[in-house]
Structure 1
Amino acid sequence: MKIFRPFLFIFFTTTLVAQEVQLDSVTQLDEVIVLEDAVPKKATGITASSIVGPSTFEKFNPVDIASAINQISGVYILSGALNTNRITIRGVGARTPFGTDKLRLYFNGIPVTNGTGSSTIEAFDFENLGAVEVIKGPKGTTFGGNLGGAVLLNTLPSETNLTRISNSFTIGSYNMLKDNLSFSHQEKNFNLRLSYNHLETDGFRQNNGLTRDGVLLNTNFNLNAKSELGILINYIDFRAHIPSSLNQTDFSENPRLAAANWLAARGFEDNKYTLTGLYHNWQITDKFKNTTSIFYTYLDHYEPRPFNILDEITNGYGFRSLFEGNWGTFNYSFGGELYKDEYEWSTYRNLFRDNDGDGSLQGNQLSQNKEFRTQLNLFGTLMYPFTEDFSVQLGLGFNQTDYDFRDLFNTGDENTSAERNFDPILLPSVGLQYQFEKGQLYANASRGFSNPSLEETLTPDGIINPDIAQETGMSYELGGQWRPIGRKLSLGLALYHMNINNLLVAQRVGEDQFIGRNAGETRHQGLELDAKYILRLSETLVLSPYLSYTLNDHSFVDFVDEDNDFSGNPLTGVPKHRVSSGLTVHHTNGFRLNLTHQFVDEIPLTDANTLRSESFNVFHAKLNYRSQLGDHFSLGLNVGINNLFNTNYAQSVLINAVGFGGSLPRYFYPGNGRNYYGGLRLGYSL
């Protein structure tokens, strides 16, 4: 804690001094507030959520979505590489070996989490996003009731009655090049946004290159005064080489190395991902409306690894329908979401050791499998305002999950085909909100769940695990937001407590082999604080310090692993303290300087707490300039430095790592060293 105390002091000292500076008029105050985003909330009713928008995105490199989302207290993205991200919310998901699970991810209201609960945020281009909204914990009844919560990605809206072409071009260290070309058009009954993006980089480490191309189309048609039809298409094609994790010695001495076996195999992943959605908004009456979407997702994934080659295809499809209305003083919502996918995967021998140093070579087939997965979510909420200031909201969700596994490789007694249908689960919630002159208080109690991942539902022999159960838990939260000094100072505080039963544990028993089981109970409790101050130093200069602090007091309540009792130990994979802070300096001539800082406390790497990662501070800086060139053209310039002090730090970790064949266990994914970037943005409007 001592390391980041200076930043707490700077923030609060600046805030206290700034309170003595008065604005001359309301008009001047409105000029200051442009530093904040007015992003519409998607969470239903009085459900609390956190939102970051364009003003936050502009503080970072346009490929660094992790740093932007990490500005939200309670949310932490561990990023092993641009294609390897793990989102944890209040410690939920920290034990997942790779990727993101135990939450629901939505893109423009369409669910994009697959049938076993895995989400891939890197399938979306950062520069196409207009907002990221996070519902922490299971209180978001209309978004699935998962223990981790929900992450809602929303695209940039089209500007009213405007046709615009813009191009954003960025170059940087490690031969990084990124381009985003977009066209938008909006008129009375029609709007369209089309963008193409390209990214290539060699990466900081060996075997770390990435090439990605993508297209996004989002268009709406007004069929009549009460009906709107929309089409959404997102396509991403990328190849990313995989340096994998490092052991302690390599991480400390040369973090640019790749793991030796992944380097020898030249391991990579090749992905072609498509999301298509058709949605309809219908204002049925003045007090009743419906939004319905049907969607299809396709993923073609090919990944040569040192231990085998994985070839997989996923076809997902479904629908979501949400009704919202009011009856007298009651506000209500209800609806349902059905997601089905067909996941087919095969593995092959990787003969890279016999390929004369040319990397991976596909050999004989080892397995062929197919799994049909179905998730049904039903939900409803009812909100009643007892007074103008005090409201209550009741919610109830229902989930039914089924897996049907087919072994297409083995025959006879060796065939392992089986079904695994989980018991239906009810997910109630209750929320209270009290509004007062300068803010609001809220309280919530809700039940949530998490489904086992694919690795947890199957044994290493490819057999359905009949004993695995869903995680369940109760979450309690108390919080509030205040603006005690007009609109200059904003404060947010949340306290939460959540017990999770039937903890899902994926124990690694081989390089690509896990055993999933339920191993006890964890307690997640903590405090989240967000503060921001907007200070007008002069008629032309505005200064805004901000701070986001997370306290994680997470532990195993009951966790016995064979002969080892880990009960009472801190939860593996979660830092106890985390701080995101920064300072924005904005001048009316178009210049904006952003200084950002992140502190991450040490992280327990083993359940026994015998090894921890080192805490770290990392600093970034970015200078932006924007100008309007006449009536039609606009210009934007930016330059930035990431990791100002060239800190060697672990941007992601792998918990309970195991060394195989006499090698040391590999726990660490190094963050990039000091690196630079600069960009040019040109726009033309009609």
Structure 2
Amino acid sequence: MATPGADASAERLDRIVVESTGLERAPAFEVPASVTVVDLRAGNDDANASVSEALDGIPGVLARERQNYAQDTQLSIRGFGARSTFGVRGLRLYADGIPATMPDGQGQISHVSLLDADRIEVMRGPFSALYGNSSGGVVRIIGVDGLDGTDMRAQATFGRDDGRTVGARLRGGGEFVDYAVLAQRFATDGYRDHGAARRTLGNARLQVAIGDAATLRLVANAFDAPDAQDPLGLTRAQLQADPRQAAPAATQFDTRKSVDQTQLGLVYEHAVSADQTLRAMAYAGRRGVEQFLALPVAAQANPLNSGGVIDLAGRYGGTDWRWSWHTELARRPLELSVGLAADRQRQARSGYENFVGDRLGVRGGLRRDERNEVGNVDRYAQAFWQFADRWSLLAGARHSAVRFESRDRYVTAANPDDSGRVDYRETTPVAGLMFSPTQDLRWYVSAGRGFETPTFNEIAYRADGGAGLAFDLRPAVSRTVEVGAKWRSDNGATVNAALFRADTDDELAVARNVGGRSSFRNVGAARRAGIEAALRVPLGEAWHLGAAYTRTDATFRDGFALCSGAGCTTPETVVAAGTRIPGVARDQMSAHVQWEARDWTAVLELEAVGDVTVNDTGSERAAGYALLHLELARQWRVGDGTLRGFVRVDNALDRGHIGSVIVNEGNGRFFEPALGRGVLVGARWDWSAR
């Protein structure tokens, strides 16, 4: 959906200091990095049930809503994260300053509501590496802080397939205390058969002033999604026969997933002096997952098989301490930051058979019992120096130490002890130089090094089908270069463009994907290179135009052998060097025209995505598509509040298309079809008292 201010240099946001840069006094326009800010203060004319709704139109970003709520949004940035078959990986996610990415690199954003968000910041390119493991890009969701007085927002939407969302947010405060609380409920019968889901979440923030120089912010969050049905992917034949059907195995095994999560975070900021600031963050939470897979009963006859039911009970937490100092070097402004971050994730992982006798889709006998732990300790430093009138330098480095450890508690005569440990260490330097030829034009070049360890989900299953964890996987190490330009005008027009290239060694790729169970391997070198551009142009007082385009060539640079077909454990199929990386669209384009006049708003959006390959050999692909979306809204002043009604028509031309793909699915069920024409109607009420 088109969101006012959805560009990094929009007139209301280009001078705001964004959190993604890690700087306290330099706005995004002044740093040599690609950062886009999506302004959500006015609210979204959408369901606000998924973060992906607000990420459309950001260059380099592809957010695929899967119409499968047993899996999280498929999110990729410049080709990183595209292969993920579950959740978000390869990227760093933050909500209200609290990591939504675990220390192993696996992330989830399903517990975040846009109804409670002030803005979203998206960073691409080399400087993402300063966030540590799996920093192919960074997404930060910033919540709405309290204010003097009180305001309230309530919203309800209703759409196709009995999809409905109801939520409310209350915020307020005074001189010393600010607060914001939210509750939201989402439910749907599902676009596809066996696709029903419901989600409930709550969020609360309390900020207290401590004297004149310090603040303490408390953030609490709870999320519950019981028994979300999983329709699985479809083969091409199934897709052509009926795109709304579930795979037969989905109903046979009643494939589903339940998630519940609670977490608590604290952020303390203290202005030690006029030039020095201390920021300390700590968080802790628990997350439970139960998932029923469509793993055939015959496959579980192998004594090394861990069963078709996954049960995860995890606890996680961490802390981040950062000291910032504003001073001068050679009589020029210098901002210096140093910090220490440590995170830990403990997980009890159990596996059970997905049958009892002839009854399928129920928890059966125990087949796996492990205690897994991953932790990291990172040290980082960053400096921003305006060393001349028109020149500035931003440089930094981060050293990460990540340890995975597993203790096997399911040991039998036919299933040996698979306990083990592996350590990864990496230093990721990055630097960028910016030149300002005029007040409203910036040129920059930046380069950096990043790395990506396998996640616990990726080392959970060995590619050879054996028991235990895949401790032989190595981290992927990348070298990224970016050249870019930023321009703005007094009337609010902006243009941002960048050329980028990321070369990766030991690229991680899917080795097998059968019955919802993925195994991975290192496949050598890979490259992601391309161009991205975005513009925003006011067309008079009532109209404005926005557009974005991304071209990404993502290829394997080395050839390798892989498994193809269900049951394969010995790689025999050769992938030639130069083959496209699956899941990455070569071309993306979006454009929108928005009209605002007094109480009316109308938006026309165009979205186009090129084809993607779905397996490493490139023998199958999902066709590209172009979609038209329409939106109309009107607001009325009611007492001290405003009532806004809106209607949105997605895919107005009713184009059939594939919304997301399951990379290397071993049964050929690569395709997840997207919605046809759909109508969403909603109402939002905003009220305030000062």
Shift in Å at residue 585 of structure 1?
0.7
Q: Is the 8 A contact 2:72 2:88 kept in 1?
A: no
- When normalised by structure 1's length, the TM-score is 0.89
- Compared CA separation, residues 343 and 420, structure 1 to 2 (3 A): same
Q: Distance in 2 between matches of 1:145 and 1:406?
A: 23
Q: Residue 435 of structure 2 corresponds to which residue in structure 1?
A: 434
Q: Deviations over 1:645-676 (max 9, x none)?
A: 111111100122222xxxxx111111112111
**How far is the alpha carbon of 1:411 from its aligned partner?**
4.8
| Residue 505 (structure 2) aligns with | 501
CA distance in 2, matches of 1:530, 1:195: 33
Partner amino acid, structure 2, of 1:365 = L
Which residue of 1 is the match for residue 128 of structure 2? 140
Residues 442-451 or 319-328, more deviating? 319-328
> 433, 442, 445: which one pairs with 1:443?
445
Q: Which moved more, 1:404-413 or 1:167-176?
A: 404-413
| Structure 1 counterpart SS, 2:127 | coil
Question: 2:399, 2:607 → 1: CA distance?
Answer: 38
AA of the residue aligned to 2:577: S
Return the alpha-carbon distance in structure 2 between the equivalents of residues 93 and 511 of structure 1: 21
1:359-389 Cα shifts (integer Å, max 9, x gaps)? 7222111111120110122110112111132
Give the 5 Å matches for 1:623-642. Answer: 623-630=632-639, 632-642=640-650
1:183 equivalenced with 2:170 (yes/no): yes
Match of 2:589 in 1: 579
- Relative to structure 1, the CA distance from residue 292 to residue 142 in structure 2 (aligned partners, 3 Å threshold; closer, same or farther) is farther
Q: Residues 115 and 410 of structure 1: is their aligned pair in 2 closer, same or farther, counting only changes over 3 Å?
A: farther
SS at match of 1:262: helix
The secondary structure found in structure 1 opposite 2:372 is strand
**Residue of structure 2 equivalent to 1:26:** none
In 2 relative to 1, CA 518–57 (structure 1 residues): closer, same or farther, beyond 3 Å?
farther
Q: Any conservation in 1 of the 2:32–2:434 contact (CA below 8 Å)?
A: no
1:679 counterpart SS class: strand
- TM-superposed CA distance for 1:513, in Å, is 4.6
2:486 corresponding residue in structure 1: 481
Aligned match for 1:62, one of 45, 48, 67: 48
1:63 deviates by 2.6
Q: Which stretch shifts more, 666-675 or 415-424?
A: 415-424
Q: Deviations over 1:385-410 (max 9, x none)?
A: 11132101120101101011011111
* Structure 2 unmatched ranges of 5 or more: 1-9, 24-30, 296-307, 562-570
- Write the mapping of 1:333-352 to structure 2, written as runs, cut at 5 A: 333-351=337-355
- Cα displacement string for residues 215-262 of structure 1 (whole angstroms, at most 9, x for unaligned residues): 110110001100111100011111221111111122123111111111
**Structure 2 match to 1:386:** 387
Pairing partner for 1:457 from 456, 459, 472: 459
Determine if the alignment matches structure 1 residue 533 to structure 2 residue 542.
no
Shift of 1:487: 2.6
Residue equivalent to 1:4: none
Q: Label 1:172 to 1:194 Cα distance change in 2 as closer, same or farther (>3 A).
A: same
Distance 1:462 1:130, change over 3 A: farther
Show the counterpart of 2:142.
154
The reply on whether 1:491 has 2:479 as its aligned counterpart is no
Match of 1:76 among 59, 62, 70: 62
Structure 1: how far apart are the matches of 2:42 and 2:531?
22
1:652 counterpart (654, 660, 672): 660
CA 1:35/1:252 → structure 2, altered by over 3 Å: closer, same or farther? farther
Give the Cα separation in 2 of the matches to 1:509 and 1:554: 21
Aligned partner of 2:453: which letter?
A: N
The letter of the residue matching 1:473 is S
d(CA) in 1 for partners of 2:12 and 2:632? 15
Q: Is the 8 A contact 1:204 1:673 kept in 2?
A: no
Are 1:124 and 2:112 an aligned pair? yes
C-alpha distance 525-544 of structure 1, shift in aligned 2 (>3 A): same
Work out the percentage of aligned pairs sharing the same amino acid.
Answer: 20
Q: Distance in 2 between matches of 1:36 and 1:55?
A: 11
2: CA distance, partners of 1:180 / 1:352? 40
Change (3 A) 1:374 1:503: same
Q: Offset at 1:312?
A: 1.1
> For 1:423 and 1:304, how far apart are their aligned partners in 2?
32
Extract unaligned runs of 5+ from structure 1. Answer: 1-32, 660-664
Preserved contact between residue 599 and residue 618 of structure 1 (Cα < 8 Å): yes
Amino acid at match of 2:643: L
Quick check: 1:190–1:222 contact (8 Å CA) kept in 2? Answer: yes
Residue 225 of structure 1 is matched in structure 2 by 212
**For residues 157 and 641 of structure 1, what CA distance do their matches in structure 2 show?**
32
**Equivalent of 1:615, from 592, 605, 624?**
624
The match for 1:323 is 323
Q: Which amino acid aligns with 1:577?
A: D
Report Cα offsets for 1:7-51 as digits up to 9, x if no partner.
xxxxxxxxxxxxxxxxxxxxxxxxxx8887876411124252111
Taking a change above 3 Å as real, the CA distance of residues 265 and 411 of structure 1, as seen in their structure-2 partners, is: closer
Residues 244 and 509 of structure 1: CA distance in aligned 2, closer, same or farther (over 3 Å): closer
Tell me how far apart the structure 1 counterparts of residues 393 and 513 of structure 2 sit (CA, whole Å). Answer: 48
Counterpart of 2:186 (choices 161, 175, 199) is 199
SS in 1 for 2:107: coil
Deviations 1:80-124 (A, max 9, x none): 234431211111122233221112111121112123211111121
8 Å contact kept, 2:11–2:492? no
Q: Which deviations, in whole Å up to 9, do the C-alpha atoms of 1:140-166 show, x marking residues without a partner?
A: 3542263412111111233x3121122
* Aligned equivalent of 2:398: 397
The whole-number CA distance in structure 2 between the counterparts of 1:117 and 1:620 is 34
The Cα of 1:412 is off from its aligned counterpart by 7.1
1:172 is aligned to 159
C-alpha distance in 2, partners of 1:339/1:532? 39
Q: Which amino acid aligns with 1:596?
A: E
**What is the aligned residue count?**
638
Matched with 2:521 is 517
- 1:667 counterpart = 2:670: yes
Q: Which residue of 2 is the match for residue 22 of structure 1? A: none
Determine helix, strand or coil for the equivalent of 2:384.
strand
* Counterpart mapping for 1:588-607 below 5 A: 589-607=598-616
Whichever residue aligns with residue 323 of structure 2, its letter is F
Q: 1:244 aligns with which of 226, 232, 239?
A: 232
Distance 1:517 1:305, change over 3 A: closer
User: Partner letter of residue 44 of structure 1?
Assistant: G
Distance 1:412 1:360 in 2: 27
Contact residue 139 and residue 145 of structure 1 kept, 8 A: no
Shift of 1:509: 6.0
Instruction: Summarize deviations over 1:541-567 as a string: whole Å, max 9, x none.
Output: x11111110001121111311551420
Q: Which digits, 9 at most, give the CA deviation of each residue in 1:456-509, with x for residues without a partner? A: 3242433233432110011000111112x5334211100011100011123116
TM-score by length of 2: 0.89
When residues 644 and 40 of structure 1 are mapped into structure 2, their CA distance, relative to the original with a 3 A threshold, is farther
Name 1:52's counterpart in structure 2: 38
User: Aligned with 1:250: secondary structure?
Assistant: helix
Q: Is the 8 A contact 2:318 2:342 kept in 1?
A: yes
Q: Write the distance in 2 (CA, Å) between the matches of 1:482 and 1:583.
A: 20
- Measured in 1, the distance between the counterparts of 2:114 and 2:15 equals 19
Change (3 A) 1:331 1:93: same
Residues 165-194 of structure 1: CA distance to partner in whole angstroms, max 9, x if unpaired? 221111121112211111111211110001
Cα distance between partner residues in 2 of 1:675 and 1:370: 45
* Residues 521-554 of structure 1, C-alpha deviations (whole Å, 9 max, x = no match): 01111000101111225xxxx1111111000112
* AA matched with 1:419: G
In structure 1, C-alpha distance between the alignment counterparts of 2:253 and 2:356, rounded to whole Å: 5
